Structure 1
Amino acid sequence: MKVLDKIQSLRDELNKHNYNYYVLDNATISDHEFDIKLKELEKLEEEHPEFFDPNSPTQRVGGQVTKNFNTVTHKNRMFSLDNSYSKEDLLDWEKRIQKLLGTSEIEYTCELKYDGASINLTYENGSLISAVTRGDGFQGDEVTTNIRTIRSIPLVITNDFVSDFEMRGEIILPLEGFNAMNEDRIANGEEPYKNPRNTASGSLKLQDSAEVAKRPLDCLLYQVVTNERKYKTHFESLNAARNCGFKVPETIALAKSISEVLEFVNYWDTKRHELPYETDGVVVKVNSLYQQEELGYTSKSPRWAIAYKFKAEQVSTVLNEITYQVGRTGAITPVANLEPVYLAGTIVKRASLHNSDQIEKLDVRIGDTVYVEKGGEIIPKIMGVDLSMRPVDSEPTQYATRCPECNTELIRTEGDAKHYCPNEFGCAPQITGRIQHFISRKAMDIDGLGAETVELLFKEGLIENYADLYELSVDQVIPLERMAEKSAQNMIEGIEKSKEIPFEKVLFALGIRFVGETVAKKLAKHFKSIDNLLNADFETLINVDEIGEKIAESVMLFANDEKNNTLINRLKSYGLQLEVSQEELQNQTNKLEGKSIVVSGVFYQMSRNELKKAIEDNGGKVSSSISKKTSFIVAGDNMGPSKLTKAQDLGIEIISEDDFLRMIN
């Protein structure tokens, strides 16, 4: 047998044994026999380096050191999920999607919501080429070297699946392995890890992949992302993925109604404690991939999926003190400082009290014994007070009247839940908060500059606003605490590179109140430049799609402040992108301006997302449902019959994909 054939034969055999052991939990050879075959393969690969393959079973032991994890933009955004906590929430969700689809014929899949670290695995021609953490959903850290060490993740697919695809899943640390790790740490006199979720997430960012290989990490897969139309349902695609070697849990089930979904929820709310890993809820998805496409996404989450969270664990502890935090917009958030208590895997010392109305509603007082739970099992919140334990000398809480940072008198406008500190340019947390928002990943995404460094730069008097960042030099920042020459250079290079960030992100980075990521995109697309936006009057602003009075007033307040105008002029002088680039403008027209367009069916020349982008690039608005305001419908194959009937009843024009392309070209 030729050497390459022998090597490939051993690789195939070892991959099969890995699959049997780590995915099927059904070993077919002993560990000793496996190790002998692995050593034989290692020896052959060492003698013949020309046949090196990063996806060989020998690479699973790790050994490669990664000092810096590259930030990678996701080809397909990783959305978060809307949460639900009751039967009513699920029924409301079902009504919304039935209305959008125009049918009550909807099948669902129910999957356990795994508690770990989300990962996106990219395969090309059957081989794993990259693994990227979820990050902020738009981009994450590339951790391929560490992911290769997880033996339940196939490095090569040989079955008849789809050629190029992404697999979404959750990196978890099974409870048995987590407990064994902690036993070792305690025996060595080290602090035990707090919980499996954080330990799994932290493991992905270890620099030495050999250390990652020692940890009993696992990967549970829950979604196939591909442009190929080989499968008609989500359930079918996951079954195919399981047959290809992916570890898709057998707990997934089909449901014909929300009642069947709730049966699944009730069963696993009890049985989950018998699982070998942690889970905090159930993810419900529309099963039909065609219906998923029809439903699409909001700015934050898919309309076709929702997470049902199991009832949160609740504990009681004593409220020692109420303090107040100042956000970048000046919003004041009261914080309950608690007697430390163990809750859902972590020690909780603080919980949000939201605002003065919440304090008054709960009648929370210092010294009270309070009930605490984690909202969605993430953010601790106070749910109530044990009045039987209230001290005799207890007095009602008097909400702060002055800013805890700058002593300015707080204000509260009518209809606003929060109090605010109006000292926008003189209150330290507001100043540093705005700069921290400016440099954040979804905004200017400045490498080498973090929240702590911003506070240090401000404290040392090197910056007072985000425009000051562009005047920093390496010599100025090297003397800072824990700042080496290389770190200083990286920071200055990161600041310089941020000048390439497109206008819509710069607009979001400016921190105009109520102008979030989605609103910034709409304003940038409509006004094309910062000058056009800041010179717009109230009527012009509210006539922009989805821009209401609150946002319009906030933009005008920002525009009328002389300090903000000075900052904008400075940013222009430094070369930031404060208008839509010529390249983007070339692809944009006003051909569809004022038109509301519905997209329905299956398309072949463009993907649905490309089609929607083409509508927006030509000034049109994409609508998810048909109404009297609908200008026309772009219909592909298999347009929903109820949508077709509604369009005909309303006399709305229906055009084909070809008609649409002719229209915009």
Structure 2
Amino acid sequence: MSPKAVDSLSAEEAAAELARLAAEIAEHDLRYHAEDAPTISDADYDALRRRNLAIEQRFPDLVRDDSPSRKVGAAVSEKFGKVVHAVPMLSLDNAFADEDVTEWVARMRRFLRMDGGELPITAEPKIDGLSLSLRYENGRLVTAATRGDGAVGENVTANARTIADIPNVLSGDFPDVLEVRGEVYMGHVDFAELNRRNADAGKQTFANPRNAAAGSLRQLDTSITASRPLRFFAYAWGEVSKMPAETQTGMVEMLGRYGFRTNPLMKKFADVEGLLSQYHSIEENRATLGYDIDGVVYKVDSLELQQRLGFVSRSPRWAIAHKFAAEKAMTILNGIDIQVGRTGAMTPVARLTPVTVGGVVVTNATLHNEDYIRGIGNSGQPIREGRDIRIGDTVVVQRAGDVIPQILDIVPDKRPAGSVPYRFPETCPACGSHAVREDGEAVRRCTGGLICPAQAVERLRHFVSRNALDIEGLGEKQIEFFFHVDDPSLRIRSPADIFTLKGRQEKSLTKLENIEGFGALSARKLYAAIDERRRVEFWRFLHALGIRHVGETNAKRLARHFHSFKALREVGEQAVMPEGKGDPGNAAWQELRAVGGIGDIVAEAIVDFFDEEHNLAVVDALLAEVTPLDEQPVEVTSSPVAGKTVVFTGSLEKMSRDEAKAMAEKLGAKVAGSVSKKTDLVVAGPGAGSKLKQATQLGIEVIDEDQWFERVKQ
């Protein structure tokens, strides 16, 4: 349920919600600052703070002593010593839109009573790491402390000394006392390598570089910190015995002279337009930086004006953080891979320069299908104003909640010279079979279902399923085992392997009965179930092959028409599809199309199947082990149910539902799953419910199971 609008809250409701928000935000502060394990995204956290502030502004008398608007960070962990900051480490207010920045500048001008004239402001990337304060006395590092709650931080001096970017001794002409503040972070390449090493060693992996940096700095064992590739950017200061400059830019320049790394993207601007231009430039180039940022920080350049502007609650008036959209980011498309799903669907996947979106490092994103890449939507209309997506493009990536990241758009101005449109493959990258796209579909599919490794397990599951070959003892779990097992005498990778299993086992020292989960009895039963299916109905054999659009119903239609698998195969191999309007195709195509209920789409799928040499090789291997029984022609004109639509309902006691369906179809009846005005006969067993009631209401004839057998004389 969405929270109630602030304007409609009563004082009692406001007080209750402020209490809830204070507790919830405090819990998230603890997880983020103290435990380095946040459980919500930055966007969701910011939304909680914005709602808390909005309620406080409407009900100023209800502001709590423990209000989040009065706090910074979280309490110091007991495992570290405490350091009292000589100058509090406050946080920044946030801007989320260009208009917020314009209003912030206007507020400062009103406060300073500046009707005109320049107000120089700096813009620099907002590093997504862990804030750190370094105190130097006579040029030597004496303490390093985290932000903590803003007033008291954690003493991590020993760990800070292991970071190469943090000098133990300053260079140049430095003040006697200097507190340097900045951000500890981890680069993308180093983060990926750390996670790889941890995964290989069975250790914890991190969700993003910020968590990795924070967890690495806040270690009791300094050797662990020393082993982690931490970096540091300096951008601010606390206590200073003698200020060496009068501006923000001047102070940052001095920090560089003292031996610190400062961010080269920091620039000074005279107007809001310049700030916003820099913001969007940094956003577009975010993925190329090699480290995570989550926005741009603006600061009034004059230190004198900073003093005059002062602070509001937990934040300075003279600075603000312009955050990026938390669920979107820009990065570079490095390549497009094609993933083949278990049904043969080929899905393009974008390989991206890593970028953190919504608290998670994103390296891949879906591109949906080939039309989406070309700039065409599901309706056939242009999307992204018709812009296609090319390798090398700067792209906009979106990730919302648990949704798979997707590419929304490109940045046209950043398209590399010489880029070419992406050409979707017409063969399967997993097996080399033809990939076809049916009319009216956006998805291209691999036709090599029986040999494609990407589809193999799913195809085998289908092959042995109840309405296909129906081999008892070969369920999903068993298929997974036989497919992935290392021993060649047990391995099943194709349908024919099922029928050679027993022979391979007889020659092997590794016996199935000795494998956990089987045993002698279950092994014998499995071999017997397999042997029972060496002779199988034509329609079952055809359905088991997994030809697209040839399910149980169409398999039976084809079996009744062609009578033998050999006859169907000959037609399938000889058929030539029409090349265009007015072309009827050849005689084999016409015969295939003449089968009742078989349209162009099903016919094309059959031709595509038999046109694939890989499929024919698998079928030949299977036919060496299995005999599909010819379908015997039935003289349906003498059947009392020929041409009638029959519905079976309730619990049948003398035959299974599948047996009843097969019997009726052999007698020329059509079996339906629901009762309608077109239904001719309902066969009702014990427990028949709504279908029986509907048949009675429509005046449809209803008989029981015994009457059915009497009528068809079976």
Query: Which band: TM-score by shorter chain?
Result: 0.3 to 0.5
- Larger Cα-atom Rg: 2
